[in-house]
Amino acid sequence: MSKTSAVFKLKIRYRDLSEMRIDSRKQTIQDLKWLIFCRRSGSREIEIGVEHDLLKRAITWSRAHLKVVARSKDKMIYSHETTSSFSNYFSNSYYFDKFPNDDEITIAVKIRVEKSKFVTFDKLQEGSADVKLELTDGDLYVSKMLLSHHSSYFEAMFQSDAFIEGQKGVCQLSDVKIEHFLFLLHSVYGLPIYFDSPMEEILNEVTELADRFNMEVMLAKTEEYLMSLPHQEVKKRLEFADRFRFSGLRKYIIDSLEADDIEPLVNDSHDDFDSVSVTLNSLLQPFKLSCAACSSSPNRRLENRCVCIKVLRYTIN
């Protein structure tokens, strides 16, 4: 039976740390391989990270207790204790900035997995995993019915005798990684989708796949997540929204733009303008010329920027 807890330790000196992480050895807890790591963060901070790897499975529910302690010369210099759920490719970080520069610091993290349950995709199972997906780095076995229900792409493939996939129950997706497709399967199987690290890091790749396979539910959840981000983060997603036809997100961004936000998009001399998608490029062209004229006079710019924004919002919306 797999153990339910383990203690991980690292011995470090701040002067020896860099932005490159130092990893502990991996230990298996409840069939997951866990590790901790340390690295320098910011001007004078130490980051303690906790993570696990999970391949060919998805977590349906979970709970883990973590206790993080840092000591130097038998004196505690940092302590944190928490209980939380964990998701696929879980990664948590803890930071502290009060420590000696030269003395050895011992980092100890105790992880106790209290609850965990998985959906596995590593073998054929009659009625629940009856189609094989051959991906870049391995195979997954999933439900043909569920996949077809969530994707018109796969529905057409499995129902047509013109596709070898429909005849043999094997689908070759040699350009798709398991890590990326697993996030899509969370939507397919109705499992929680955690848009945190590392999901945020691969959001573009996952959204491209959802768009390619016509997975409308996953696309809707992605748009909903993006609209929940802090205002300053949402404003950066204008090109993303247009690329994937997220009309709600695009309207939300445009409606919230201020004068200082719109000027970089329409300023004649700003490099970012050329990176905007073709659709937005054509819409912004009149305002690019207008704001170029405005920029010749500070007073004129102040008078006209708000007018440009109002017309732009009306045009796009």
Last residue of one domain, picked from the residues 252, 274, 302: 252
Separation between Cα atoms, residue 304 and residue 290, nearest integer Å: 9
Task: Output the pLDDT for position 298.
Answer: 46
Residue 265 within a domain: yes
37 and 77 fall within a common domain: yes
d(CA 264, CA 284): 11
Are residues 138 and 224 both part of a single domain? yes
301: containing domain? 259-313
9 against 250, higher pLDDT: 9
pLDDT higher than 80, residue 267: no
**Other residues' Cβ atoms within 10 Å of the Cβ of residue 178:** 17
Average pLDDT rounded to a whole number, residues 264-273 = 47
pLDDT tens, 290-310?
A: 555 555 544 444 444 455 555
208 plus 148 within the same structural domain: yes
φ, ψ of residue 218 to 5 degrees: the values are -65, -40
In-domain check, residue 193: yes
0.85 surpassed by pTM: no
| pLDDT score recorded for residue 273 | 41
Query: How does DSSP assign 34-85, residue by residue?
Result: EEEEEEEETTTEEEEEEEEE--SEEEEEEEEEEEEEEEETTEEEEEEEEEE-
Q: Is 175 in the same domain as 286?
A: no
Q: Tell whether 25 and 109 lie within a shared domain.
A: yes
- 293 against 73, higher pLDDT: 73
Residue 238 has a pLDDT of: 85
CATH number, domain of 72, equals 2.60.210.10
Q: How many domains are contained in the chain?
A: 3
Closest by alpha carbon to 189, among 138, 244, 121? Answer: 121
Determine, yes or no, domain membership for 123.
no
pLDDT band, residue 12 (cuts 50/70/90)? very high
> pLDDT confidence of 163, banded at 50, 70, 90?
low
Same domain, 93 and 188: no
User: In the predicted model, what is the mean pLDDT of the chain?
Assistant: 81
